[in-house]
Structure 1
């Protein structure tokens, strides 16, 4: 991480909270009812931490960070709402419905990071939301094969119908020209969100701005890989490799 050493414990506390909740939501061999029960218990411990009654080490650290930095606790409950939704909802009818999920699953993370560095400007929050939503969508398109194998489809069903793609095509990993057109459309509007959020970088100072710039560039690089592969995300999962590092770093340093 390029972030200051003083910020790392707070970042670690937020990551631990979200990582455990995400693991609960995706725990194999567990019923949906059990996952939801554990997530509800996780939220109960969150509320106890808010009242200064934390017992779990994750919540003790989170409570300390929230107290010192005046962090908005509702952002944590938004994350838990998204994790619970992920347990029971595996299809999205419209792009707006998918954006609402991103509003709770991704955007709180960016807002929490801004709050750690004492940024409270609503315009900065909005720009952060655009970047975080774009990153979440990029992850969906990157993981089409993995999610499809698990029975999950994040591409809006209205878009599948528009481009003539059947749900079974994704679940069975059957690529086609229609699927490529569908993904080209998703990649294009995800890029638009990245560009909408980009002004945030200029509003921040190093090293935070450099960290966000690298994250932004990494997301865009994944979209480039999806496009250059011919949108074969049902067969191969595009990923960043160590060989992408110098290119991303050079682009980040020059593109100011």
Structure 2
């Protein structure tokens, strides 16, 4: 795993380093390959002509995230995120300097991507410096509209599939992925003094702050996390038709992210919702199985109509999602 502090010294606000477009692309490719994610951002199924674009977008997201999380001082992180926004705006004005922005410049021009999703992501990481606990699920969803949904919208631009209908499906999928990551990383986020489990839900299931801070697993916590896992699953079902609306092999990538998010939720449930004892992950063999099922589902849909849902991912009425999951797990 590369050290972000080294990259910050090389290319941060005090750096005078300049790179060519080819060097910038190579930097983004290396950054993408070096970082662990639940599922790879770029796979052998990603259309070759889109790989540099995906790597540049990922590198932007990676730097934004690391500026918010890896600096170790919230005031300094806020300053650096403000600098990063300045680098972004300079890039959109045709004067990129940072390697990520040099690589990204051609991408935003080729795919007519506006500045909004990039600025929304920076805004979310700025919020992380001042908001460390969420009172309600609605507040958490609002955060996801900036921390997660812009990523899906960027993918839609790269796939030339950015329509209002696809955007709505993408937002549901990306929010679900963000929630799955939150429930997977309750313990890790506590170490960063961040709590994404809404306070209203913690109180509803009788899980007090002192138990959370002590990472104490209780029946109340199990019921709480089961409730949140159900919410995330419901959003995945709403967004599932998106894969059938994406062009070419991008459909498999999108399907794989949905299946991967659902697999994480399944892992959480399989270990009895105790995410303090062990962080739930999806192993290599399971990832291969998910990839095979995604390819198979895509093949079946190609023969039966693009918008036909995979029988393994049940669709759910958005009205039912708004109402929340069944109460039987209280």
Kindly indicate whether the alpha-carbon contact (under 8 Å) linking 2:67 and 2:77 is maintained by their aligned counterparts in 1. Answer: yes
Kindly indicate whether the alpha-carbon contact (under 8 Å) linking 1:170 and 1:234 is maintained by their aligned counterparts in 2. Answer: no
Deviation at 1:217, TM superposition (A): 0.5
Q: Which of the numbers 105, 127, 139 marks the counterpart of 1:97?
A: 139
Unaligned ranges ≥5, structure 1: none
Distance 1:174 1:180, change over 3 A: same
Does residue 211 of structure 2 align to residue 169 of structure 1?
yes
1:201 maps to: 243
1:84 maps to: 126
2:63 maps to: 20
Deviation at 1:253, TM superposition (A): 3.5
1:44 maps to: 86
1:122 maps to: 164
**1:127-138 superposed matches below 5 A:** 127-138=169-180
Match of 2:129, SS? Answer: helix
Higher relative CO (CA 8 A, sep ≥ 6), structure 1 or 2? 1
Deviation at 1:145, TM superposition (A): 1.1
CA root-mean-square deviation: 1.2
Kindly indicate whether the alpha-carbon contact (under 8 Å) linking 1:52 and 1:63 is maintained by their aligned counterparts in 2. Answer: yes
Kindly indicate whether the alpha-carbon contact (under 8 Å) linking 1:184 and 1:231 is maintained by their aligned counterparts in 2. Answer: yes
CA distance in 1, matches of 2:209, 2:109: 46
Does residue 148 of structure 2 align to residue 148 of structure 1?
no
CA distance in 1, matches of 2:291, 2:154: 25
Flag the structure with higher helix content: 1
Distance 1:38 1:246, change over 3 A: closer
2:50 maps to: 7
Deviation at 1:174, TM superposition (A): 0.2
2:220 maps to: 178
| TM-score between the two structures when normalised by the length of structure 1 | 0.96
CA distance in 1, matches of 2:48, 2:106: 16
Kindly indicate whether the alpha-carbon contact (under 8 Å) linking 2:205 and 2:221 is maintained by their aligned counterparts in 1. Answer: yes
Deviation at 1:28, TM superposition (A): 4.2
Deviation at 1:60, TM superposition (A): 1.4
CA distance in 1, matches of 2:79, 2:195: 24
Unaligned ranges ≥5, structure 2: 1-42, 298-309, 311-330
User: What is the total number of aligned residue pairs between the two structures?
Assistant: 255
1:35 maps to: 77
Match of 2:133, SS? Answer: coil
CA distance in 2, matches of 1:141, 1:36: 26
Q: Which of the numbers 60, 73, 91 marks the counterpart of 2:115?
A: 73
CA distance in 2, matches of 1:63, 1:243: 37
